[in-house]
Every structure is written in C-alpha cells, then in structure tokens.
Amino acid sequence: MTTLESTESTTRSVQALRPTNGSGVRRYLPFLDWLVHYRRQDLVGDGMAGVIVAIMLVPQGMAYALLAGLPPQVGLYASILPLVIYGLLGSSRVLAVGPVALVSLLTASAISPLAGQSTALYVQLALILALLSGLIQLILGVARLGFIVNFLSHPVISGFTSAAAIVIAVSQLKHLLGISVPRFEHFYQTLYYAAQHMSEINWSTLVIGVGSVVVLIYFKYQLGDQLKNRGIAERWVVPFTKSAPLVVVVAGVLAVLLFGLYESAGVKVVGEVPAGLPPLTIPMFDPELWRSLLPMALTISLVGYMESISVAKSLASKRRQKIDANQELVGLGAANLGAAFSGGYPVTGGISRSVVNFSAGANTGLASIITAGLIALTVLFLTPLIYFLPKAVLAAIIMVAVLGLIDVVTLRHVWHYNKADAASLIITFFAVLLVSVEAGIVIGVIASLLLFLWRTSRPHVAVVGRLGDSETYRNVLRYEVLTCSKVVAIRVDESLYFANTKYLEDTILTAISDHPEVDHLVLIGSAINFIDSSALETLESLVVELRDAGVTLHLSDIKGPVLDRLKKTHFIEHLGAEHIHLSTHDAMIAIGCA
Amino acid sequence: MTTLESTESTTRSVQALRPTNGSGVRRYLPFLDWLVHYRRQDLVGDGMAGVIVAIMLVPQGMAYALLAGLPPQVGLYASILPLVIYGLLGSSRVLAVGPVALVSLLTASAISPLAGQSTALYVQLALILALLSGLIQLILGVARLGFIVNFLSHPVISGFTSAAAIVIAVSQLKHLLGISVPRFEHFYQTLYYAAQHMSEINWSTLVIGVGSVVVLIYFKYQLGDQLKNRGIAERWVVPFTKSAPLVVVVAGVLAVLLFGLYESAGVKVVGEVPAGLPPLTIPMFDPELWRSLLPMALTISLVGYMESISVAKSLASKRRQKIDANQELVGLGAANLGAAFSGGYPVTGGISRSVVNFSAGANTGLASIITAGLIALTVLFLTPLIYFLPKAVLAAIIMVAVLGLIDVVTLRHVWHYNKADAASLIITFFAVLLVSVEAGIVIGVIASLLLFLWRTSRPHVAVVGRLGDSETYRNVLRYEVLTCSKVVAIRVDESLYFANTKYLEDTILTAISDHPEVDHLVLIGSAINFIDSSALETLESLVVELRDAGVTLHLSDIKGPVLDRLKKTHFIEHLGAEHIHLSTHDAMIAIGCA
C-alpha cells in the first residue's frame, strides 16, 4: 500500500474496454479505419454476409414498405443509398441498416392521418419524415446528446416492442385472409371487423399466406437443427435458414403464375413495380406539414436509434469492439437523409438482419455496400417478377418477423425483481395497444420516470446500531447490533430533495417520539447524494424543532460534494460545526456512546 | 450499550412533535377539540382577532373579487360561509380563510376566456370553479393524497409567486390610472398599451390611487415602529397598522362624496352592491364547462392548498401545534364547497390575514366564525356606503398586498447554494410572465423534476482509499488516504436506474483502463439505494466484460433492501457470492489489501 500512488499508464488488455472516441477526422469518418487497411481475407466474410442479407432484405424491404402503407419499391429504394452511407459513416461494422418493422409501423401511424387517399402525398410525407428523423439524429449526434435515449428504460422498450408486434401482426391479417378491412385507429377494431367478415375470406389467399407462415416458421425454428443433425457444416446453415423469405417469395410468385390465381381467384398481388435505380427526390418544404410530422420524427429517430444501438452494442462486445453512441447517431442520421433524397422512407439498424450479417461473417462496412449493390441490381432487373408476388406472402414475412418480438421473458424477470419496473412495462404495453403507438411510448417513459420519482419520495429509512466491535453501523432490524440509549442514529437512503423533505421531517420526528429517552439524533448521510434548497430549509427548521425538544442533531458521513455546498450557507453555523462528524463511529465517540 | 433494547414508551415533551392524526371522529371534526373545552380566557383573543381580520377582509374581499373579474359582493360572500366551515373543520386554529390574490388571479385566467362579456356567466363559472376545487381538495384529503403538493418545490413556488405578483400588479394599473385597457393575454401587452395611452390618465383617479398606495405603505412599513417608539403597547400596534385598508376605503368614499368626484371627474366607483345575506346558489351542471374548468380547478386546489398549508404549518409550529395535512385538505375543500353554494368563488388560507389572526391572539376556530359574522353584518347594512368606493382604492390595496410577495431573497439564497434550484425558480418565473400563469406552474414543476432526473443521471463518482488505520474509506481526491495497487474501489453516489446505467458502465470501464494494473474492482454500494432491472442487466454484462479483461468485480456495503432484491435473481451466483462484502474494509481484507 502506498499513499496516493500516481496512476502510471501501462498498456493492457483492459485498455480496449475504454470507450474509443477516436480523434479528429477518423471519429467522424470511421470507414477510414477499415478501408485503408482492408485485408483480402475480410472479403470472404463481407461478400457472404452481403449476399445473405440482400436475400433477406429484398422481400423484407417490400414487406415493411407495405406495412408502412407505401408502394413496395420504396422499401427497396430505402435499402440502397442508406446502406452505402451507413457502411461508410456508421460506427458499427456489422449493423444491417434498412426498413424495419417498428419504424415502418410508426411511419404508417404518422402519415396515414395526414395523407388521406393520395398515394403521391403519402410518398412525399415519407420523404419528409426520413429527412426530419435524419436531421434530428444528426443534430443529436453532433451535439453529443446520444445519452437522452438512456431515459428509455429496458422495461418500457420491452413493453413497447411487444405491443407494437401485436399491432403489426393484426394490421397484416387482412392481407393474410384476403379480406378488405378499412383502416381503423385501434387494433381491436380491426380484429372485431375481421371477425365479423370471416365469411369474406379468400381461400386461395389464405392458403398462400398460411402456407408461407408455416414455411417461414419451419425454416426459423426447425431447419437449422435438422441440417446440423445431418452433418451440414455450420457455415452453410445460416445461408439456408435465412433464405426462407426468398423461398416463400419465389413459391408465391410461381403459385400465382402456375395456377393463374390472380385473375380467377382474387389473390391480391404486388403489381407494377417500376424498374430502374431510385430517383433523386427532394422532400418538399411545407412548414405546416413539417411541424405536424415533427413529434413523430422525434419518436422515430429515438426509437430507431434505440433499436440500432442496442443490437450494435451487443454484437460489438462479442468481438471486443466499441460503439461510439454519438457517431452511431451521425451514421443513422446520414443514412436517413440518404433515404429522403433517394425515394425511400425512415430506416434504422434491424435486429435480425444485423445478427445474420454478424454470424455470416461481416467484417467491415463493405458487407453493407455489397448488400446495397445487390438490391440495386434487383430494382434494375427483377421487378417484372415481383409483379405476381402475392401480398399474403409479404404479410406472412412480417407476421413471422414480429412474432419473435413479443417478449414475455423480460416481463417474467422484471416481475420477480421489481414491481415498479413491471408496472412501467405493463403500462407501456397497454398504452400502445389501447391508446396509440406513439402515445404509448410517451406514456411509458413518463410512467417510468414518475415511478422513479415516487420511489425517491418515500425513501427507505433505517435506524442503525454498531456491529460488534467494528466501526460499521447497520440496520437494527436486520443485524444483531449494539445501540446506545441516549442516541438514535438514522440512515436515510435517498438524496434529500423537495419531493421527500416532508417525509423526512415526519420520519425524524416520529423516530424521536418513539425513542423519548434520547438526547441526540445522528442523521447518517452515506446515502445522501445531494441536498437541494427545499430540503436544506427543512433541515434548518428541524435543528430548531429538535433543539426545542432537548435533542441535538448531528450529521455524519456527509459526502464531500454535499458538505461543500452546505459550507456556502449558514447551515453549519446554525447546526454547530462540532455536530458534523466524518463517520457514524466518530459521532458516537463524540456523544460518548463508543 | 445494550443489544437491541426495547423502546419503552415514556412520555416526554418530544411526543408533542409527533404528527397528531387524532383518531375516529375527532380527526374529521377538529372543532370537537376546542368547542367542548372552550375556555373563557380564549374569548378575548378570538374576539380581538376576529374583529381585526374582518376589518382587513372587507376591503380585501372586494379588491380580490375585482382582481378575479367578479362583482365586489362575491368577494364578501366568499368571506362568510367558507370561514364558518373552515373554523369548524380546519386543522389549523389560526388560518384565516377567504379570497386571496393568487387564487383570484388564477380564477380570472380560468374564467375570462370562457365567459366573454357576460357577467352572469362569469359568476356562474366562478361557482363551478369553487365547487370543482373543493371536490378535488376533499377527494385528495379523504384519499390521504396530500403528499402530492410535495412535488411543488420551494424554488418553483417562489418563482411562481413573484411572477404572479407582477402580473397582478400590472392588471391593476388601469384602475390606478383611470385608463380603460382591454383584457390582454400577456402582462407586457397591458404595460405597452398603458404606456401608449398615458395621455388618457384620469388625474383624480391617479391621486386617489397613489394616495392610497402611500398610506398603505406607510401603515405597513413605518407606522408600527413609530407607534412602538411612542410607547404604545404592542397589543394595540397590530390593530392600528392592519386597519390601513379600512382607512383608505373610508377616505376614498369620503373624497368621492365630499368633492363629488363621481360625476364631474370620471372616477370609477364600485357602484350598486346588493344588500342582504349571500344567496343560496347551485353551480350549474354542464359536462363541457366542467371539463374545460377542470385543469384550472386542479391548479387552484393545489396552489391554494400549498399557500394555506405552508402558513398554517409555520404558525402552528410557533405554538407547538401540529397540522394534519390531509384534514387541512378536507377543511379547505369543505370551505370551497361552501363558497360554491353561497355565491362565492374559490378561497384558501391567506398569508397576511393568517399572520394577523395569529398575532392578534386567535386561539380557536371561533375567531374565524366571528370574522364571518362581521362580514355578514357588512353585507346586510353597509353596502350603501360601498357604492361610492373608488376602484382605484381597491387596486391600491391589491398592489400593496402583492408587492410583498415578490421574493428576491429566495433567489439570492438558492443561487448561491444550488444552480439547478435557481434554474427552476427562474424558469418558473419567466414561464408565468411570458407564457401564462397556469402553464407557468406546470412548466416549473416539470423543469424541477427534469433537473432532478438530469442530476441523478450523471451521478458523482469517487475513487476511495483508506483513511489512516481506520475502517473508513474516502475520496482519494479529497483526503490523504491509502490505496492498494491491485484494486480500485469506486463509490457511485446514486441509485442505479435506467437513466444512469450507461454512465455507470462508461465510468467503470474508464476507471479500469485508467488503472491498468488492477485485478479487482470494488463497487461500493453505500449510496446505492436501489438497483432497477435495467441497471441489473448492465451489472450482469459488466461482470462478464470485466472478467474477460482479467478484473474481478466485488460489491461492498450493499444495503439490506437492495441485497434482498438481488437475492431473488441469479445475479449473485453470476457474480459469485464470495464477491459480496459487508463493508469496503471487508472487501479489502478479502482481496488481501488490508
């Protein structure tokens, strides 16, 4: 042991754990890191991953565009330029950006009330939404305000995602059943309407849809194990299992063509998709529209960032890489701007595609760029095939994707551990289902903050005593401790601020009247992290009230920063400087109890 | 010292400090306490106080009704039945209930946008507002929810009151100058308009108004000292100085009558006030109106309660009496219902009149009842005199009353002590001035809560070392302490919850990479009052990240309630039960550093 040893900087593996913020131009242009030193052996992984993600993304992009209420090509356009931009500017090397379910749902909620029946306006509004979300993310990233997503607690995200998954699944029912359902505000209205119109089910559509669901589930949950049991090499399992959306798309198109289902059986198909690269689009400037889309753009930018950063971080930590939260905002923001100017709609990092990208071996942003190239080839040459793709197949892809988002595990864990967290999860869940998607997340955040405030307004308080011969003082109700008849020592387990000063005052006065024999009250500050001015006022009046009752107030274990502030006031003179002690034990010695 | 001694209940003076909640019927009918044992010697003080408060209340009641935009008799009606009811049901024996400035201002803000030009509707809306405020207070009181006013911090109240005082003073300018000013939304519009129309000043009105202001200020700040210096007994000083409003009222009426100012000089007078006791009024039931008044009724009930409870508590503590916060809500709520059914408008306990009531010797609720009786006599017999009372005199009474509410002292104190508290004061102040009175207080409360959350999201963190030979560990930056090269001990001064888990993670990883030589990290939980499920997840992943980097995580000083929760999860197995230590010193011994 040495006194205050200087902390020498020696290199060591833990250095890698430090958040790497890079410096200068490298921080803002992360691709310089991998492009300059690109190793040939990285190309295999990047190429493989790029291809597999593209195979998933072609059907998913169209499906999520459908979910957002947009024409299918918009989903493909949103899968080209944004991916190139993110590949260059994103701080994660494996995040697969593009259309995702949650953001598509939020896009639909934002736009459909404003667009009415006009598809042209709908597409325009999606561009504005992408532009605004991108700008918000860029601004937050440059201003280094990424921390604000910390106010989205895990239970709130879990409740939001589960409920949104249900809303999404229900919204796709009409495509799966072949019923035409008007747009309702609430998912239960859609369900009720569908239940009443069961007789209108189009059986060909239902067969294609349910068949697709079965195939997708089989690929997702069964095929992997079966392939492994048959001795197929691990590296080939991922490409096979993840090609499920492509398989159902091809099967769906073939079914329509072979059985001529379009004409005869009323199976709704995607229809005309223009061939060619994404157009250059300039989002229109209309202050009124911008203002009405702003709240939703804020929600999309935060929820999208949330989803993105959590998967990026969890994948990066597996390879001991670090994610720069603010650069991540810059990368996503720029990708959204790319979407706005190339006929797309809001994008973010998708969970499932990112995991696939990672396990297929993506090493650098090049994987994303390869994916983008393949999507570009698709829109150039494959759109005629898409014409006959049944919408039921896309609906099946969406439903199976969101099925996995319903998160019961977190609720079970949280319920056991902390009822307040469980409450905020459940409140968010029902608010999303019963009020609306966007109000749901706001209500959830507010509820979680209020529950936190409620908790801090009624702090845990312990009367403590000495543990054997030690200098440690613990709760009399939990430990066999020694107490002294003329003093009561109280530890308040919370910072003192306006919401709990009244509670503190009542607690202390009650403690004194419960222990009428005491002459001294020691208030232990080990858990008091600050004292605001309302609480300081209460303490000042407590000093007088206790003094009048013949009890001396002592403070112990007051933390440095708290004491520094108190020294700026007259409180210490008022209390008497001799009544402030470094530790509870010191206070006991001074009082003559130890 | 004995182990866990039983706390015998011996009586002692401190018993009186315990919040008295009474029991059974007495708690809800506090007058049973004083009425049954009424002592003749209490009558002198009650009578004296009742008379002096009545002398203040006649002009103030009319003035505040004017401020609320109501006919003067409404202020008098609100000073009869509500006072009798509060005298019987209130838990304070000295609180003087009736019309007050802040609540009158809030009443005007609530009603004037809805009532248009109709005085009849205006009066009706005031009744509804009183009814709703009363119901809210009753419900909060019976449900024992009085604690919710704790979320109004002292700086927010101070900022609100100062700004409201300015708004009120400016609203009375027109009466003082004799200019007619249309109703503006913002005080600065009123000021600007008045400045532009200075040429229209009615000089007779101005002389009466400014003369009244001078007399009132003289009585308030000078007369008391002069009387004392001339040897007048203390008990006569209060009645003299507090009769100022009556003096200016009488002088104003005489001036109008003697100089015939009404006709010739355009001095606006109160005019016809109907003689007779308050009418029985039934607030009309209109769901639409009720709904639009509800937010303001909530504000009035909370702000009114706030003002009332703070003065009631401070006066009660001077006589070692206790206020039951919930019974206080019941008393005020019932008083407001009384106002609603007797032609009044919302009332609460006034600060200045309560202080006068107290110092004039009020002992029981009888003082309030005596005041009410005198006001009743006034409306029965004295209304003809009120006809000639200039409105400028009432405006002067309001202005001088609110002048004393502008609170610079609190700002100065708070600015020194805590910039966040100062910020919430200043935000509230400007929000009230520039946005609106009711939005101002909401913005202030939200700002104060957000500042608290912001603070808890970036907790103070200290690396600690051993203080000499003791078992006390303190901040290495503040104390000469001993540290050990293979361990870094970190104290996080905040509960761990969703808003600060990311910050915690960064801090710990940075500490480790700053101290590359360490093998152990001790996280000291003495200031951690709870760990929510988001933080628990972060801790779980930290265990793994640190283990991979060759560092063992230890926890010490974990509080009982926190440990209890952790035991419900798999976290302790995950961490290793042997890595949880009772104290930092124990952890150091286990690691081999002490």
Q: Highest mean pLDDT: which of A154-168, A508-522, B333-347, B430-444?
A: B333-347
Is the pLDDT at B3 greater than 70, yes or no? no
Question: C-alpha dihedral over A403, A406, A409, A415, to 10 degrees?
Answer: -160
User: What tens digit of pLDDT does each residue of A336-365 get?
Assistant: 999 999 999 999 998 889 988 988 888 899
A159: which 2 tokens?
């409740």
Mutate to test the interface with B, among A315, A409, A418, A538 (most CBs of B within 10 A): A418
A239: left (phi over 0), alpha (psi -120 to 50) or beta: alpha
Is the pLDDT at A14 greater than 70, yes or no? no
Q: Which residue has the higher pLDDT, A3 or B485?
A: B485
Which pLDDT band holds residue B16 (cuts at 50, 70, 90)? very low
Tell if the CB–CB gap between A449 and B452 is shorter than 8 Å. no
> Which three-class secondary structure state does DSSP give residue B523?
strand
Q: Which residue has the higher pLDDT, B24 or B237?
A: B237
Chain A residues whose CB is inside 8 A of the B537 CB are 154
Is the pLDDT at A310 greater than 90, yes or no? no
CB B451 within 8 A of CB B459: no
Compute the residue count for chain A: 594
Nearest to A502 by CA among B28, B15, B310: B310
| Mean pLDDT computed over every residue of chain B | 87
Least confidently predicted of A110-124, B334-348, B387-401: A110-124
Tell if the CB–CB gap between A5 and B154 is shorter than 8 Å. no
At A323 the pLDDT is 77
At B61 the pLDDT is 94
pTM of model > 0.80: no
Alpha-carbon distances, residue A148 vs A295, A306, B483 (angstroms): 16, 10, 35
User: What tens digit of pLDDT does each residue of B60-83 get?
Assistant: 999 999 999 999 999 999 999 999
Please compute the mean of the pLDDT values over residues A370-398 and round it to a whole number. 92
Is the pLDDT at B457 greater than 60, yes or no? yes
Nearest to B475 by CA among B486, B485, B487, B489: B489
Q: Indicate the residue of B472, B513, B527 with minimum beta-carbon distance to A14.
A: B513
The answer for B 514-533 residues in CB contact with A (under 8 A) is 514-517, 526-530, 532-533
Q: Which residue on chain B is closest to A566 by alpha carbon?
A: B417
Torsions phi, psi for A151 (to 5 deg):
-75, -5
At A467 the pLDDT is 87
| Mean pLDDT computed over every residue of chain A | 87
Which pLDDT band holds residue B1 (cuts at 50, 70, 90)? very low
Separation in Å, CA of B332 to nearest CA in chain A: 20
At B515 the pLDDT is 81
User: What tens digit of pLDDT does each residue of B535-553 get?
Assistant: 998 899 889 888 888 899 9
Separation in Å, CA of B467 to nearest CA in chain A: 10
Q: Which residue on chain A is closest to B455 by alpha carbon?
A: A530
CB B311 within 8 A of CB B354: yes
Q: Which residue has the higher pLDDT, B344 or A469?
A: B344
Q: What is the 3-class SS of B249-298, one letter each residue? A: HHHHHHHHHHHCHHHHHCCCECCCCCCCCCCCCCCCCCHHHHHHHHHHHH
At B431 the pLDDT is 94
A586: which 2 tokens?
């010191």
Tell if the CB–CB gap between A151 and B499 is shorter than 8 Å. yes
At B470 the pLDDT is 85
Nearest to B46 by CA among B36, B35, B62, B57: B35
Which pLDDT band holds residue A24 (cuts at 50, 70, 90)? low
Separation in Å, CA of B328 to nearest CA in chain A: 15
* Sequence-distant (≥ 6) Cβ neighbours of residue B195 within 8 angstroms: none
Task: State whether residue B148 sits within 8 Å of chain A by CB.
Answer: no
Beta-bridge partners for B487: B520
Q: Which domains are seen in chain A, by residue range?
A: 40-383+391-450 (no CATH), 461-591 (3.30.750.24)
